[in-house]
A and B are shown apart, each in its own frame.
Chain A
């Protein structure tokens, strides 16, 4: 009898993505040991900080699941912010400025996608190249520094609130619903999984593999562009250097969230929880007074442990070998 209740517990335990336990653990630990962690102010802070990474991680989840990767998203964040700020400084209205910032990222994603799909070049290499090109665009337009943004509407993106919750929260939720819908309910979502598992079989099924690939990179670029605008509104500047390294945090979020780097399967919820784990870690350690070097080390260790834990559960966890 004890055996069966044990198994029931295990099944329940395994049904929840392992990353959830890590996130809960971190929140509990920091609430106890870190001063000010458990306050409303800090919670809002977490949302504002986390929004950028969560939005980018959603795009990364799609590229990785499709069997690819997008290393340029960090540079897109910088590029979107700088181009928005630059457009404003040229006297364009704020919606047009934002559109220019985001659309440029979508277009860059389109270029990456076309080279990946039509040129049959490894996405790693293509988007690595795009990383440098997009960064050079943002540094060029900002002359290597930053462009100040003075626009109440742009600031509202970060500071405004709706129903008592900050705007970045609502932006993230809306995007999340869209991506969730795309991956779970749309035909396109099915195709992402199919081409990631085996592009040849997918083409035998009649799926237009190239079209799906290109679309994935356009979406990834667009999401990174939106994240860039959210970040620019938070720092009130278009800075040519921001966003560097975000691509790696996004990959980490996706992978510790249970999406294998080889593609074919993926978990959107996992990617978002992964991004939250990283955000909570960074925030909590900063509150504890950790230096940024030390914070990086702890984040690194947590990532490895997270992946090992996820793998262990995937292979059968407490029940032993599958």
Chain B
């Protein structure tokens, strides 16, 4: 009897990307009419697993069964035909088509051959949206909708295929509470119709609200599948994190000096509200929060990349409110962005050129570049930071993620930065290089650099920081010192709902 209840069965799924084992023999199964929650840290392999099931990524090894029959999901179209629909994490609609056009793209109501029956399309879209109580005009351009509404339209599109299996990858990350409720009631209806639902979310409090079973992934491996009703939140967090924190994070105490950077009441509409924080010389400050909490956006304000509405920023003794990044770099600030490939370095430039990118004015005040000096300086940083490159002339494009991150750091060291903002410095980096980066952060702190690290990895931020600020929905919801930090405290600030955490009884 239990067999007939199973709709999806994935066995021994293996997927490698160049240099990374993203999924290591993962087993996963989904029952009819259940909401199966998939959790794990960033990079644990959740999105990769569902992308394989929905035909976006090919698998290396393993097999998939649907209703007991082995299937090969070779393309998104194939998945649609098999009855597997997915709503991706990022908006996956075409911005300059209308809502109705987006919902029915690839299965348009047709009159003759390839001609779209526009009236029928709009009518069907309207019916579908109304049945889900989504208040969106089918004729509106998707580009004109808020992110949350776009996500609801993507959800409607997924349902328009009448799927047997629906996958939701962080569907509520940009939804309002009201829209979240709306989606949940739709999901409950689907459950009753025996649709299998895979649900990925970082908002752990949600999972208890709607989930039936939970599977935890970590570093590409399945840790366990559990009945959610019999599981406690702290047990889930422990499974997600899993490692022994003290070994990985060689935290050394440093002498903490005067204040280096201070944000006072920084506000920007839709980004952050009344954010005040400070970093001292020799101090490593962590900024934690869920994806979408506004951490990156706030630090972009601090580095002058975006304008702010009100508040002030102080760098050492100088008021640098509304200053441009160029001026801030001159005053000793450095910024290592989250997306190092796009914003952190120039992939088409060599290691040498990347390292010296922010320092050429200072290195060569005459305006003429000395090739000899250029090489000496670059070589020094390559040696000091043990940057794994065959030559300083190697293009950044060909380096591994961890090595690229070191080059970004070298760039700011070369520029003499004394205040460093690092956004997700270890994202997508293997464990060994991670530890090296933590060591470098320590060394810098010991030399008196003020460091602010944004991270979504709880153990990382707990391991390396002297002090942690937690953000939730654009506001600072907590400040915790090294000694008093526990995963539970940080998590409860990050989720912004003390009650939700209490309810699950730590």
Interface residues of A (CB under 8 A from B): 185-188, 190-191, 193-194, 197-198, 201-207, 264-265
* A-side contacts of B105, CB under 8 Å: 190-191, 194, 205, 207
Chain A CB within 8 A of B485 CB: no
In the complex, are the beta carbons of A205 and B76 less than 8 A apart? yes
Given A197-B95, A264-B95: A204 in contact with B56 (beta carbons within 8 A): yes
In the complex, are the beta carbons of A205 and B92 less than 8 A apart? yes
Nearest-Cβ distance from residue B148 to partner chain A, whole angstroms: 18
In the complex, are the beta carbons of B118 and A202 less than 8 A apart? no
- Distance between Cα atoms of A77 and B105 in the complex (Å): 35
In the complex, are the beta carbons of A204 and B92 less than 8 A apart? yes
21 example contacts (A-B, Cβ-Cβ < 8 A) are as follows A185-B118, A186-B115, A187-B114, A188-B114, A190-B97, A190-B116, A193-B94, A197-B94, A197-B96, A198-B94, A201-B92, A204-B76, A204-B92, A205-B76, A205-B106, A206-B75, A206-B77, A206-B106, A207-B105, A264-B94, A265-B96
* B-side contacts of A202, CB under 8 Å: 94
- Secondary structure call for the B interface: loop
Nearest-Cβ distance from residue A182 to partner chain B, whole angstroms: 9
- Secondary structure call for the A interface: helix
Nearest-Cβ distance from residue A17 to partner chain B, whole angstroms: 15
Could you say which of A187, A191, A197 has the most chain B C-beta atoms within 10 Å of its C-beta?
A187
* A-side contacts of B77, CB under 8 Å: 206
* A-side contacts of B298, CB under 8 Å: none
Nearest-Cβ distance from residue A316 to partner chain B, whole angstroms: 14
| In the complex, chain B residues 97-143 whose Cβ is within 8 Å of any chain A Cβ | 97, 101, 105-106, 108, 110, 114-116, 118
Which single residue of chain B is at the shortest CB-CB distance from A265? B96
Given A185-B118, A204-B88: A190 in contact with B96 (beta carbons within 8 A): no
- Distance between Cα atoms of A132 and B106 in the complex (Å): 37
Q: How large is the interface on B (under 10, 10 to 19, 20 to 34, 35 or more residues)?
A: 20 to 34
Given A204-B88, A205-B76: A187 in contact with B108 (beta carbons within 8 A): yes
- Distance between Cα atoms of A265 and B95 in the complex (Å): 9
Chain A CB within 8 A of B405 CB: no
* B-side contacts of A204, CB under 8 Å: 56, 76, 88, 92
A-B residue pairs, 10 tightest by C-beta: A265-B96, A206-B77, A194-B94, A206-B76, A206-B106, A187-B114, A197-B94, A201-B92, A186-B114, A187-B108
In the complex, are the beta carbons of B88 and A185 less than 8 A apart? no
- Distance between Cα atoms of A193 and B98 in the complex (Å): 11
In the complex, are the beta carbons of A206 and B108 less than 8 A apart? no
Nearest-Cβ distance from residue B353 to partner chain A, whole angstroms: 24
- Distance between Cα atoms of A197 and B142 in the complex (Å): 12
* A-side contacts of B75, CB under 8 Å: 206
Chain A CB within 8 A of B494 CB: no
- Distance between Cα atoms of A204 and B105 in the complex (Å): 11
* A-side contacts of B95, CB under 8 Å: 197, 264-265
